[in-house]
Amino acid sequence: MTMDRPPVPTLHDALVDRVGSAIVHGEIAAGSRLVTGELAEGSSRGAGREAVRVLQSLGLVRVRRKTGVEVLPATDWNVYAPEIIAWRLAGPGRDAQLRELGELRAAIEPLAAHGAAVHADDAQRRELVSAVMEMARTENHADGGEYLAADVRFHRTLLSASGNAMFAALGTVVESVLVGRTLHELMPHDANPHAVRWHQDVAFAVTAGRADEAADAMRWIVREADDAMRGAARKD
């Protein structure tokens, strides 16, 4: 698998990743109290405070006067946050995360494809066709960065073109699914040729304004992706 080298994390990024993943993986239980100074052991208190602010924004902790930093239950987490999706995919919650993401995509993306056939502008139509052509070009390296980038571009463009701002806001969530599939080696080296063709079917149906055809092809895409990811996860 060929991926671009990720940026070097800052000190507080490393703290967020260490503590956040421990909370999501159940290593730090809900109701536990965290001490900022202990979080930042070996580093600055400023980094610890910044890490707590990020964890709070993700719904993982709550800061109260006198009682300090309290770890929150999963019902309070911002489950749409890319960080939480990534941590769940990397831990014991992977099966549940894959199921939930598959169900979300099955509910949203066919509707988005239908809407895009009605609302997409010329630039978005061209972007969809360009993305599927790039996917076809790199389908024999589907676990690599070029295929992933084209796949992300396709799905984010489709959601943006749907005419529904709430669908468009889920672009980051769908991107997290696609990135996680590649990072956790749930993507085959050679793409399913049917999946590539269905992406092309969606792009051309959107371009031609055939809303029902676009929605039908997208249903096949999300079904195949869900089945493939769950199958790959079971082999781990």
Higher pLDDT: 67 or 152? It is 152
- Percent residues over pLDDT 70 in the chain: 90
- Percent residues over pLDDT 90 in the chain: 66
Domains of the chain, CATH where assigned: 11-76 (1.10.10.10), 82-235 (1.20.120.530)
**Comparing C-alpha atoms, which of 62, 105, 61, 112 is closest to residue 80?**
105
The tens digit of pLDDT for each residue in 117-161 reads: 999 999 999 999 999 999 999 999 999 999 999 999 999 999 999
Give the residue carrying structure tokens 């900022």. Answer: 36
Mean pLDDT, rounded, of the chain? 89
Q: What is the average pLDDT across 210-215?
A: 98
Q: What is the amino acid identity at position 133?
A: M
| Region of residue 156 (left: phi > 0; alpha: psi -120 to 50; beta: else) | alpha
Give the residue carrying structure tokens 């099955």. Answer: 106
Say whether pLDDT at 196 is over 80.
yes
Reading the block at residue 163, the tokens are: 């005419």
Higher pLDDT: 38 or 177? It is 177
**Comparing C-alpha atoms, which of 108, 119, 105, 106 is closest to residue 206?**
119
DSSP label at residue 69: E
Say whether pLDDT at 2 is over 50.
no
Query: What is the value of pTM for the model shown?
Result: 0.85
DSSP label at residue 74: G
List, in order, residues 6 or more apart from 163 with CB less than 8 Å away. Answer: 115, 116, 118, 119
The tens digit of pLDDT for each residue in 81-119 reads: 999 999 999 989 888 998 899 899 999 999 999 999 999
Decide: 192 and 224 in contact? Cβ < 8 Å: yes
